[in-house]
Structure 1
Amino acid sequence: MTFSPVRRWLLGSAAVLLLGIGALVAFVSSRLPSDDEVAARISEAFAQRFGVGLKVGGAHWALLPTPVLVLSDIATDQPRPVTLRRVTVQLQLSQLLHRVIAVDALEIESLVLPRESVRAFRGKGPKPQEGGDLVALPAPWTLAPVPLERLRWRDVVWIDRRDIALAYDGEIAFDAQWRPRQARVERAGVTPLARLRLDREAGQDRWRTRIDVGGGTWNGVSRFETLPGGALRLSAELDPHQIDIEGLVQAFGRRTSVAGKVSGHSTLMAEAGKAQDLGALMRSLHTRTTFSVQPATLTKLDIAKAVTTAGISRGGTTPLDELTGTLDTQGTEDGIVMRYTNLKARSGVLTASGNLRLLNRQMSGEIAVDLVDGVVGVPLKIGGSVAEPEVSMTGGALAGAAVGSAVLPGVGTAIGARVGQQVEKLFGGDKKKPVPAKSAPKSKP
């Protein structure tokens, strides 16, 4: 339940926009150059701006009937290059004649953004102290109040640190000051639909936010503010409703250890100083979601087995009537840290509670299985990975010779047996065992 896919889209869009507008500036600053000269000037301007070489396989431009610039087969000079099959820039001729840059549409086709390659451009983009423009234009050229009317992209692929490639389609219609009037972003080729839509509210810095994912919705309001001193703040209040967890994570190439439909409430907050770029704003993103899953299933953990055997349990399932808690996420240089707190699971008359931390697919945490509303607690620890989680007794609990003495020292194994029976009932293990067949009586000699 994170918004890392939105973060990746924003980073990718920023890179695309810089590339397209940079190409445009090279074009309008020239005097009727040939296609080859346009490609050479764009490569040179890009290298001077970012310190990274750029190969432009093909370039074509025309002034009439509509000014257009088309670049194809673009690649950065990096060990794992950023590649772009085609970018088309359509300009407004009337504005161009007055040395004003106004782009009707910027269209992107098949852009591939490896994370490690995009990181090379961090901090090299335009900053607010440069006047707020995306590019530094040569005099006497200026940007129109709405420099770009519409940005469209198809098959923009983000490749993350784990080499998972995710493709996105979408479009943005802009108002002045680069404010989206409407926006749509969706995972390409995913069923059920995974899509984000934004609609600006009456010219304010508020957007109606609608997310369709996992067969459910995640709707609310997003806000963008400029704080005193020029700092930026992005915030949102969203309500996930009946989202299938497995469908949600599978839409973004991930796996989960919990199945069920989640509902709840989410808040998002990100801030960046005036000297920071959009990437810095998104890296600061913090989310908090209070959630409820009814019913729920732990798809890769058998808690009953861990309690009854007092050993390490891997695999299996744990059915629950309800799972609730709070999820906090925070971006770091090492990835997104996910902290689950106030976790409570209920099944029948028994409950479990605990906390969990997840970073780079590795899990660590503790839970306690409670009998009779918390009178007795069986302490367990969670470890392993999301793909192969494991649960086991804590060191303190294993100090006892049996489950009974570990839970209530000195009482004996009889209590332990009763604990095991109740836990099996809680987690679906209370199945009638077949009665052993009676052996036939021996015949008398």
Structure 2
Amino acid sequence: MATPAPGTAAVRTPAGRRVLRGLAVAVAVAAAALAVLLLAGIALLAAWLPDDEALARRAAAEFERRFGVAVSVGGAHWALRPAPVIVFEQVATRQPQPITLRRLAAYPSWRAALSRRIELVRVEAEGLVLPRASVRAFRGREAAAGEAPAGGGWTLAPVPVQRVVFRGATWIDRRGIALAYDGEVEFGTQWRPRRAVVERPGVTPPARLRLARQEERYDDSDGRGDVLTERWRVGIDAGGGTWNGEATLTGPRQGRLRLQAALSPRGVDLEALVGAFGRHSAVLGRVDGETTLEAEGRGVGELVRSLHTRTRFTVRPATLRHFDLARTVRTAGRQREGQTVLDELTGVLDTRATGDGVRLRYSGLKARSGVLGASGRVQVLNRRLSGDIAVDLVDGVVGMPLRLGGTLDAPQLSLSGGALAGAAAGNAVLPGAGAVIGARIGQQLEQWFDDDDEEREKEERQPKEQAPPAGPARR
């Protein structure tokens, strides 16, 4: 007679069979309850979500309510399996240059949706096109992105959107140049990134920005409310080199924030860097230096618009394209074609956002090579150049003043009117050297009697005094 396996006898007893039946019934009841809850949740979500046509209409109406800009939605649909998702296709704002979006997919949190709380686990955007002129219409409305929908009892989760992935997001600048970007951002509270990667696809060497949050803390030691300190590690790959450092955001929980960063460019090839963004560099070489960044504002939009950077740089060796400075000096500006090879170029670059674009101001420029030395200052705004340069030649010509003008695409280098007049007068008194001395004097006089750009800008930034309100008329 075969011996039953251990434990088999207990199962064959009436008590053992009752235990198994009880367990089976419990499992079946639990499974049935879970299925009922799942079906109830599906039915509830189905009641909340309208049909595709109504969904597109509601989304367009909600967008216009928030931002004051009408939008058309070509198609919309939603699904609950295998994961909840809402999809919009062929979206376009109604503007002279519309903002367009080929496809947007939002994946809501199932648990949050059952509690009428908006929490998107992931958002995917494909084919977003952003003309600069059209984006400006949303200035000052950035906070509307964080509002809960009107009516329906819905609320926002502490982190309404956890992750955004975009592919082929294209920015079109004021000159119509379109640049595409890919990226992924993980958000924390108040739309600040925990981690982010943004890059120019298909660019060699890579042009990529990486952010990783290192610290987030609130301090109420002064008793005036929580003060935020948030710190990120910044990594930039560009031009075959790096531009790495650290960024810090500080300020009250509700109020103006201050962004500061310290970055160090190392071995960045200028031509490759500028070429990655569809431009051409007037200077060839690899740059090293130190960059500081500052911005203030209540939100991302204000921070971007107030952005100011300052970079002390060294390019060693460097090549100045478009101009042969030695030839320009020797011919008094009549011949300037060619290029200038320099042992070293140093200076300071300040950038600041303005209503007319980003202004680049180069100051303290110093260049040296075996045949010449040069110093000067240059400003670039809307790709237009302005500035002055003084060139010293080894063979005895000292301090010949030159004026830089034109555009980045067609730069011009010449003697100014005052310098030409001074050169003519100086040459009449003392041929040869007198022309150079006179040119320097003429240029200096011209600068003294010309309004200084920086002083004029300071005056424009200062608030103008308002006239006192008129009192009641005397009878």
> Normalization by structure 2: what TM-score?
0.75
Query: What secondary structure does 1:300 align onto?
Result: coil
Tell me if structure 2 keeps the 8 A contact 1:307–1:393: no
Deviation at 1:397, TM superposition (A): 3.5
Aligned equivalents of 1:316, 1:380: Cα separation in 2: 16
* Structure 2 match to 1:233: 258
SS for the counterpart of 2:302 is helix
The question of 1:304 aligning with 2:326 is answered yes
Closer/same/farther in 2, CA of residues 358 and 332 from structure 1, 3 Å limit: same
Equivalent residues in 2 for 1:97-116 (5 A)? 97-116=114-133
Q: Residue by residue, what CA displacement relative to the aligned partner does 1:298-330 show, whole Å, maximum 9, x if unpaired?
A: 111121222111134554211111000000011
- What amino acid maps onto 2:311 in structure 1? T
Task: Find 1:144's aligned residue among 149, 157, 161.
Answer: 157
- What TM-score do the two structures reach when normalised by structure 1? 0.80
Residue type matched to 2:146 in 1?
D
Instruction: Letter of the 1:60 partner, please give it.
Output: H
Task: Give the corresponding residue for 1:199.
Answer: 212
Residue 173 in 1 paired to residue 186 in 2?
Answer: yes
Per the alignment, residue 364 of structure 2 pairs with 342
CA distance in 2, matches of 1:195, 1:151: 17
Corresponding letter in the other structure for 1:303: L
| Residues 252-261 or 48-57, more deviating | 48-57
Rounded Cα–Cα distance in structure 2 between residues aligned with 1:326 and 1:30:
62
**Which residue does 1:249 correspond to in 2?**
274
Residue number in structure 2 paired with 1:353 = 375
Checking the alignment, whether the CA contact within 8 Å between 1:315 and 1:389 is kept in structure 2 is no
Quick check: 285-294 or 111-120, which moved more? 111-120
The one of 150, 153, 161 equivalent to 2:174 is: 161
Which ranges in structure 1 are unaligned for 5 or more consecutive residues?
A: 1-26, 418-445
Give the drift of 1:163: 0.1
Aligned to 1:413: 432
Query: Which residue is equivalent to 2:341?
Result: 319
Q: Which residue of 1 aligns with 2:142?
A: 125
2:6 is aligned to none
Q: For the Cα contact (< 8 Å) 1:303–1:313, is it kept in 2?
A: no
Query: CA deviation digits over 1:34-65, x for unaligned, max 9?
Result: 01110111111122222222111111112344
User: In the superposition, relative to structure 1, how do residues 136 and 267 fare at CA in structure 2: closer, same or farther (>3 Å)?
Assistant: farther
Q: 1:74 is matched with which residue?
A: 91
Alpha-carbon shift at residue 253 of structure 1 (Å): 1.1
8 Å CA contact 1:312–1:390 kept in 2: the answer is: no
1:201 aligned counterpart, secondary structure: strand
Instruction: Measure how far apart 1:166 and its partner are.
Output: 0.3
Q: What is the correspondence of 1:279-298 to structure 2 with a 5 Å cutoff?
A: 279-298=301-320
| Identical-pair percentage | 54
Q: How far off its partner does 1:170 sit? A: 0.3
Spell out the pairing of 1:372-411 with structure 2 (5 A cutoff).
Answer: 376-399=398-421, 405=426, 410-411=429-430
Q: What secondary structure sits across from 1:126 in the alignment?
A: helix
Comparing 203-212 with 58-67, which one deviates more in the overlay? 58-67
Per the alignment, residue 422 of structure 1 pairs with none
| Matched residue, 1:182 | 195
Residue 163 of structure 2: SS of its match in structure 1? strand
| Preserved CA contact (<8 Å) 1:244 1:261 | yes
The change in CA–CA distance for 1:303 and 1:37 in structure 2 (over 3 A counts) is: same
Q: CA deviation at 1:182?
A: 1.0
Alignment-mate amino acid for residue 293 of structure 2: L
- Residue 85 of structure 1 and its aligned partner are, at CA, apart by 0.5
Q: Give, in whole Å, the separation in 2 of the partners of 1:30 and 1:379.
A: 77
Q: What amino acid does structure 1 have at the position aligned with 2:206?
A: L
CA offsets 1:352-377 (integer angstroms, 9 cap, x no match): 10111111111111111125699931
Distance 1:54 1:354 in 2: 50
> How far apart are 1:279 and its partner, in Å?
1.7
Counterpart of 2:146 in 1: which secondary structure? coil
Structure 1's 358 and 203: CA in aligned 2 closer, same or farther, altered over 3 A? same
2:312 partner SS: strand
- Is the contact between residue 231 and residue 247 of structure 2 (CA under 8 Å) also seen in structure 1? yes
Higher helix share: 2
- Supply the RMSD in Å over aligned alpha carbons: 2.6
Which residue matches 2:27? none
Contact 2:291/2:311 (<8 A) preserved: yes
Report SS of the residue matched to 1:116.
helix
Pick the aligned partner of 1:54 from 71, 87, 110.
Answer: 71
**1:67 Cα offset (Å):** 1.5
Mapped partners of 1:382, 1:177: distance in 2: 46
Q: Which residue of 1 aligns with 2:460?
A: none
Deviation at 1:215, TM superposition (A): 0.7
CA distance in 1, matches of 2:254, 2:130: 33
The alpha-carbon deviation at position 244 of structure 1 amounts to 0.7
Cα deviations across residues 222-271 of structure 1 (Å, max 9, x unaligned)? 11122487101122100011111111111111122111111100011111
Question: Compared with structure 1, are the counterparts of its residues 349 and 286 closer, same or farther at alpha carbon in structure 2 (3 Å cutoff)?
Answer: same
Distance 1:312 1:356, change over 3 A: farther
- Inter-partner Cα distance in structure 2 for 1:222 and 1:244: 23
Deviation at 1:349, TM superposition (A): 6.2
Matched, 1:328 2:328: no
CA distance in 2, matches of 1:156, 1:337: 25
